[in-house]
Amino acid sequence: MLKSDRKYHYKIERRSSVPFWHEILAAILAIAITLLIGGALILQSGASLSDAYSALFVGAFGSKKAILETLVQATPILFTGLAMVIAYRANYINLGAEGQFLFGAIAATWVGLSFPSLPKPISISLQITAAIFAGAIWGLIPALMRIKVGASEIIVTVMLNFVVQYFLSYLVSNPWRPENEFYNQTAKIATSATWPNLFDSRLHIGFIIGIFLSLTVLYLIWNTKIGFELRSVGENPTASKYKGISINKIAILSMMLSGAIAAIGGAGEISGIHHRLKPTISKGYGWTGITIALLGRTHPIGIIISSIFFGGLINGSSFMKIKTGVESSLADAFQGAAMIVVLILLAVVQYRVRRIEVNG
């Protein structure tokens, strides 16, 4: 049969399993496409593309000072992203990292303000413990509600975010605001309560704690019995239940852990950076955490890489504004675009094109 006689038609079909490196490729491609989109926005705003992007890069990674500040920006989203990952592996979508983060900040502030004379290690341990409690409760509520009454944890966590946000705004404008304070914020926490800084910069031990937690979560999920149960419940709760895994216990554990991790991030942001509670401590870290959780393929190593990348983006964009006048909210547009692009690519990668020979 002549080659030209062969007829083919192409069919798009869903894969039964996606190779791992396809997903990595999709994430990297998403970043590339988003950079292109960002480039278009930069051009549209009249600045020079090379100037803007080089300023962005220099601002993010161009000097020791820049890198350290990038890590500072990366730290809070490392925590919120990690929080999302732990819950997601158990098939819980925790959108409440924002609220759990804030609640942890409130808890740490409480310790810092109430116990000013504690020695530093004790104060910090107490702050972290208080934050863990706060975050765990804020994670427990949606878990219990899904288990007991079948309420969607997506809705409950979003509601809880608003509740904590308003509660915090109440605290800093009323009971926790010192008499003579003009702005809506608390007094500064005692110096003995602040988290030590690293390398003479704004970077604090929170970053180290975050990395440590990421590696711990990595070990937990793939090397322990509990981690296997977590993943099993996320993959197939019915089969897990038939085989003796307590799906309620796992759900509660994962959500409490998730909330606690986000809360520790909040504590760090207070005691490491701001040293007082004010309404603006979170710049949407919870939502950015969702984006990096997706980009990082819900894997702790991916989270570390993505959070540093986004930290660089946020850090670099303020330098970019100074240097080239490009609107710094480009970082927000970038983040939004990155989210959609990565979602689309990850969905596309689920399919393959198959060539089918047509005979007769």
Partner 1 sequence: MAEQYFNIAVLTGLLAITIRLAAPIILAAVANLIPALAGIVDMSTEGVMAIGALTGFLIAHQTGSLWLGILISGFAGLIFSLLSSLLIVVLKMRHSVAGIGENIFAAGISFYIYRLIIGSSGGDIPHIELFKRVNLPLLSDIPLVGVFFSQHLLTYLILLFVVLIWVLLFKTKFGLILRATGEEPRSVDTKGINVSLVHFSALSVAGLFYGIAGSFLPLVSSGIYVPGMIAGRGWIAVTLVVFGSYRPFPIAIGALFFGFLMAIQLQAQAIGMNIPHQLLLALPFSATIFALLFRKDTNKNEPDHIGKPYFRE
Partner 2 sequence: MKNQPILTVSNYTKSFGDVIANDSICLEIESGEIHCLLGENGAGKTTFAECVFGYYQTDCGKLLFNGSEIKISSPSDAISAGIGMVHQHFVLARSMNAVENIAVGIKRKGISPGLSKIENDVKEICKLYDIELPLSTPVKNLSVSDQQWIEIIKALYLGAKLLILDEPTAVLTPQETEKLFGTILEMKQKGFSFLLITHKLKEVMSYSDRVTVLRKGRVIATVNTDDVNEDYLAEMMVGNEISLSTKRKKVAIGDCLLSVQDISAIGENTNLSLNDVSFDLYEGEILGVAGVSGNGKKELFDCLVGYQKINGGKVIFDNELISNQNPYQLITKGIACVPPDRIHQGLLMNFPIKESLMLGLHFFKPISNGFRINHSEVDKFALDQINKYQIVASSPDQITQTLSGGNLQKLILSRELSRSPKLIVAYSPTRGLDVASTKFVHEKLLTIRETGASVLLISEDLDEIYTLADRLIILYRGRIVGNSPINKIAKSDVGLLMAGCSIAK
- Residue 330 interacts with, from partner 2, partner 1, none (CB under 5-8 Å by kind): partner 1
45 contributes a contact to partner 1 by CB under 8 A? yes
Q: Which residues bind partner 2 (CB under 8 A)?
A: 9, 13, 16-17, 223-229, 231-232, 235-236, 238-246, 354, 356, 358-360
Structure tokens at 37: 């989109």
Structure tokens at 247: 């799906």
Comparison of 71 and 250: residue with beta carbon closer to partner 2: 250
Structure tokens at 117: 């004379």
Closest separation between CB of residue 68 and partner 2, Å? Answer: 37
330 contributes a contact to partner 1 by CB under 8 A? yes
Helix/strand/coil for 95: coil
Q: Which amino acid would we find at residue 289? A: G
Distance in angstroms (rounded) separating the CA atoms of residues 199 and 186: 28
Closest separation between CB of residue 89 and partner 2, Å? Answer: 12
In the region spanning residues 162 to 191, those forming contacts with partner 1, defined by CB under 8 A, are 162-163, 165-167, 169-170, 173-174
Comparison of 58 and 144: residue with beta carbon closer to partner 1: 144
150 contributes a contact to partner 1 by CB under 8 A? yes
Structure tokens at 241: 């239940």
Closest separation between CB of residue 346 and partner 1, Å? Answer: 8
**Cα(first)–Cα(last) distance of the chain, in Å?**
12
User: Binding residue for partner 1 (CB under 8 A) from 111, 156, 256, 270?
Assistant: 156
Using the contact rule CB under 8 A, the part of the chain among 113-121, 188-196, 240-248, 326-334 near partner 1 is: 326-334
Helix/strand/coil for 2: coil
- Using the structure block, give the residue that is written with the tokens 């690519």: 345
User: Binding residue for partner 1 (CB under 8 A) from 40, 208, 344, 356?
Assistant: 344
- Using the structure block, give the residue that is written with the tokens 């427990």: 140
Per this entry, what is the length of the chain? 360
318 contributes a contact to partner 1 by CB under 8 A? no
Distance in angstroms (rounded) separating the CA atoms of residues 221 and 298: 11
- Using the structure block, give the residue that is written with the tokens 């689920």: 350
User: Binding residue for partner 1 (CB under 8 A) from 87, 141, 255, 303?
Assistant: 141
Comparison of 2 and 12: residue with beta carbon closer to partner 2: 12
Distance in angstroms (rounded) separating the CA atoms of residues 99 and 321: 30
Comparison of 152 and 191: residue with beta carbon closer to partner 1: 152
Distance in angstroms (rounded) separating the CA atoms of residues 131 and 126: 8
Comparison of 13 and 32: residue with beta carbon closer to partner 2: 13
Structure tokens at 39: 């480039």
Could you tell me how far CA 81 lies from the centroid of its own chain?
2
Torsion angles phi and psi, residue 204, rounded to 5:
-120, 175
Torsion angles phi and psi, residue 283, rounded to 5:
-100, 55
Residues that bind partner 1 (CB under 8 A): 13-14, 41, 45, 93, 95, 141, 145, 149-152, 154-156, 158-160, 162-163, 165-167, 169-170, 173-174, 284, 287, 290-291, 294, 327, 329-330, 332-337, 339-340, 343-344, 347-348, 350
